[in-house]
A and B are shown apart, each in its own frame.
Chain A
Amino acid sequence: MEVKFKAFLLVLFVSISAELLRSPFPSGYSMGTLGAIIHDDIADNTHLSMVPAIHNRSFKCGADLSIVNYYDKMNNLCDRSLYQLSIGGYYRWKHILLKLNMSHFDALSTYFEQSASLSGDFYIIDIMALGIVFSGQRVSIRGVETGAHFTGVMGGSASIRLARVNISFKCRNLVVKKTQTPGVDPSLQFTCGIETPLSRIGSQGFLIEITPDEQKPFRWIMGEEIWLRNWLGAQIAIANNPLQVGLGIAVSISKGLFTGSIVNNEQLGWSRGLYLGWKK
């Protein structure tokens, strides 16, 4: 029974709170840096929104705030944008890391999503952490009589820290409360990633996403993060399906972290993200 339970946990991966950001960018990574796809947990354990954050036990609690503005202006509705605001907090208690995140997504001041998620990550053995997340999402629109839609999802992750690499598996969007309307519930997604710890040449990462519901279900993302100074880092990432290139800088001051990133989609243009984090 216990083995079965552990096996069950292994396929339920931690879904990080900030993942619920409505982002076209690599999932499983920093909600603020967008373009950054290297686990800075390995580098500097700063971004709690990432799965391996559980591996860093040097902090007790923290909070983060991010805002993302999506894509370039287009030929219509030039005065309306798409943006997301997200705020999160976390607390470590012994071997358990608890996280709470809330986000608000606004598209053209017409379509809205609000989500809240609660997750817990914990060690089952010294090098392996498991996590589980529950999220609720409300989707609504202005000017149409149809009421809002509510969705409940859960997810989980497993993260193994070895000597020179970190391996993670993740599952997102297991729908536990369905809507009756097609196209509203998020698509199930699996992720597998491998990252290297920080070295002279920075840290590297490679991630594969599988979304069975998509016409092209496979997607890869790879990137590099390097800290030029103790307080200054640079990030670059590239992904396919769709082709995206991200650039970011990170500034770490005392207990705070600020990152700014831009990500380009070949057809839709640039998105911009800002992230502010604090940890204790």
Chain B
Amino acid sequence: MAGRFGFLLILSGFAVFTFGGKPGIIISELYRDPPGSETSIGGGITNEFVEIMNISRDTVDLSNLWLTDGSECDSVVQWSNPIAGYDSCVYGPFFLRPSQCALILDRDYTAAINADRSSALRMAPGTLLLTVSDNDLGNGLQSDDGLMLYKGTSKHIDTIISLAADTEWKGKTIPNEKLRLSELSDIEGVSIVPVSFLFDIPRYSFCENVTTPGYFEKIKNSWFAEWIENPDCTEQKNSCYKMRCLTTDTSVISNVNWKVSAGGTVVTQDVMSFQGAFFETAFEAPRNCGDIVFTIDNRINYLVGSKSYSSSDSCIKITEIYPKANSGECEWFELVNRSELNSFDLAHWKFGNHEDTVELTDRKILLSPQEYVVICKDTVSFKRKYSVSVKLIEPPRWHTLNNAADTILLISGENIQADMVNYDSKKLKGWNYQSLVRLDRVQKQGSPTLWKVNSIPAPGVSDNSIVQIDKMNISPIPFSPNGDNKNDVLTITIPQIGQSATTVEIYSFGGKKIRTFDQLSESTCIWDGRKSDGKAASTGPFFVVMEMTADGKKMIFRNKGILWR
């Protein structure tokens, strides 16, 4: 499995769906090589699936729909009997509504999961289940198979619906040779998904979350958006983008606002003007001043670009590690972006120790503010053990973490040391095969990292009830206690570090203490924007200072926020 993502070059093919410029059905996920041998019941060929999605504004009739991998043509048919445990899925009628996904499954899928329940796919509710008239999808999907969906017969193509292949196919004749979607012989257990399809050259790549049957990650509230960075920007300080959007919402005709912000400042905005089904625009945004966000209708955000990581950012940190893996498990460690404003691209970041470092990924993977990512040796075995939805990165080569004691360095793509942690089993009582959760936020040079043995590993989860958090958080920023039931209170999240006594104090911008909360025992504290005398606190900046004593050690956390009315 190691080195699998060495092939993570984005594959290009021709997932054609826009015949005549009109969107229709797209092959939105292709699971060609499930784990296990091809012939095994439960896993293997019986778990293969083709996911399709209707990205048009019209309901699409699925009759006379065929699929072929070039070696065999199969008629797509309705799933006959509901599958136990899949009550939330849809078994008819034989059409696909806008934004709806359908899964074309192997006919033996029911028998397979009855034989081995652990192999059952987790499908999104509302997914239409389909199958084919033959025993297998195509002739059983090979790890380099492409696929064509078309309307017609086993002998003739009326219309190509969607094509996921390296080469374009035109004409009405059935392909007489295998359709290929690149050579990827060792991608067992991971599906491929389209990463770009709104522009002329559709591209497929590995699914970051291994498989996501019935759910197409590219859709956001019925919208799709893609962008291309133009390197020939007239202004060197700017980045130039070409943006293309599509919606399946039939109510959207015009008058939809869009805007682009960079570092929180709106740099351009306008109203969408659709050309057919698409909206297309080009824009410039200042480079390296923060997140470049494209927003549709003031509610749907696309993170287009981010600033480079610099030594002053100091906000991407290692928060949990799992260096002692049991048999069948994989090593992993967790990162978080503690910035509340900036995203960072993890492409070409490295981890390791002073002797050996390896690259995390060569892909552009943006880590949003407060977002977690897990770096693991093997995504498939990781997903098998942890049922959490978290961004995963499997480096092309794994730097093995020492079971007893080690140092982990994290180095940015700009060769800035972002973090360094160390651990030593001699100093960690009762540490067997658990994860270690980091307690200290800022580590002094040369000092040991503070860890807590976590009996229930929680990779990528920030839920306070599960994970021991090691810092105070306040939200929202700004908060507006004006009685409109929106952001009316400030929630102060209190670190849960052992037995501790906690005091939270609110300070005005002038530095005066205006509110105190004593003897807090809950994991959160709420401030309603009033001073101790009940009067409204002034608008503007304020400060939250938390003092806590844990294990005889005094800790102080300080956050700043904005109050607005």
Report Cα–Cα, A48/B531, bound state, in Å: 36
Segment touching A, from B11-19, B102-110, B111-119, B511-519: B511-519
Flag if B564 contacts A268 (CB, 8 Å): no
| B564: contacting residue among A70, A74, A144, A213, CB under 8 A | A144
Segment touching B, from A114-122, A135-143, A159-167: A135-143
Segment touching A, from B179-187, B345-353, B535-543: B535-543
Q: Please indicate the chain B residues that have their CB under 8 angstroms from the CB of A109 in the complex.
A: 263-265
Flag if A146 contacts B532 (CB, 8 Å): no
Flag if B539 contacts A184 (CB, 8 Å): yes
Q: A78-B315, A108-B541, A144-B478 are in contact. Are A183 and B533 (CB under 8 A)?
A: no
Interface: A45 (CB within 8 A): no
Flag if A141 contacts B564 (CB, 8 Å): yes
Report Cα–Cα, A149/B565, bound state, in Å: 9
| B512: contacting residue among A141, A181, A214, CB under 8 A | A214
- CB within 8 Å: A-B pair count: 129
Interface: B507 (CB within 8 A): yes
Q: A111-B478, A146-B564, A267-B545 are in contact. Are A75 and B558 (CB under 8 A)?
A: yes
Flag if B472 contacts A107 (CB, 8 Å): no
| A111: contacting residue among B314, B510, B540, CB under 8 A | B540
Report Cα–Cα, A24/B508, bound state, in Å: 9
Interface: A79 (CB within 8 A): yes
Name the interface residues of B524-565: CB closer than 8 Å to any CB of A: 529, 531-533, 535-541, 543, 545, 557-560, 562-565
Interface: A22 (CB within 8 A): yes
Q: Please indicate the chain A residues that have their CB under 8 angstroms from the CB of B533 in the complex.
A: 215
Encode A45-76 as 1/0 by CB contact (under 8 A) with B.
Answer: 00000000000000000000000001110111
Flag if B564 contacts A242 (CB, 8 Å): no
Interface centre among A76, A82, A107, A108 (most CB of B within 10 A): A76
Interface: B342 (CB within 8 A): yes
Interface centre among A107, A113, A146, A181 (most CB of B within 10 A): A107
Flag if A113 contacts B512 (CB, 8 Å): no
Flag if B560 contacts A143 (CB, 8 Å): no
Q: A144-B564, A182-B565 are in contact. Are A77 and B511 (CB under 8 A)?
A: no
Q: Please indicate the chain A residues that have their CB under 8 angstroms from the CB of B557 in the complex.
A: 75
Interface: B339 (CB within 8 A): yes
Interface: A265 (CB within 8 A): yes
Interface: A235 (CB within 8 A): no
Flag if B264 contacts A110 (CB, 8 Å): yes
Q: Please indicate the chain B residues that have their CB under 8 angstroms from the CB of A76 in the complex.
A: 338, 340, 473-474, 477, 559-560
Flag if B512 contacts A216 (CB, 8 Å): yes
Q: Whose C-beta in chain A lies nearest to the C-beta of B543?
A: A268
Name the interface residues of A248-280: CB closer than 8 Å to any CB of B: 265, 267-269
Minimum distance in angstroms from B554 CB to a CB of chain A:
14
Flag if A111 contacts B541 (CB, 8 Å): yes
Flag if B510 contacts A181 (CB, 8 Å): no
Q: Whose C-beta in chain A lies nearest to the C-beta of B512?
A: A242
Flag if A268 contacts B565 (CB, 8 Å): no
| A79: contacting residue among B313, B514, B529, CB under 8 A | B313
Flag if A77 contacts B538 (CB, 8 Å): no
Interface centre among B472, B482, B558 (most CB of A within 10 A): B558
Report Cα–Cα, A141/B512, bound state, in Å: 23
Q: Please indicate the chain A residues that have their CB under 8 angstroms from the CB of B472 in the complex.
A: 75
Flag if A215 contacts B480 (CB, 8 Å): no
Interface: A230 (CB within 8 A): no
Q: Please indicate the chain A residues that have their CB under 8 angstroms from the CB of B545 in the complex.
A: 267-268
Interface centre among A82, A183, A214, A216 (most CB of B within 10 A): A183
Flag if A80 contacts B341 (CB, 8 Å): yes
Given A142-B265, A182-B535; 20 other pairs, CB 8 A cutoff: A70-B509, A74-B559, A76-B474, A76-B477, A78-B313, A82-B560, A107-B509, A107-B541, A142-B264, A146-B482, A149-B539, A182-B565, A183-B536, A215-B532, A242-B511, A244-B511, A267-B507, A268-B507, A268-B545, A269-B558
The 5 closest A-B pairs by CB, nearest first: A182-B536, A183-B536, A242-B511, A107-B541, A24-B510
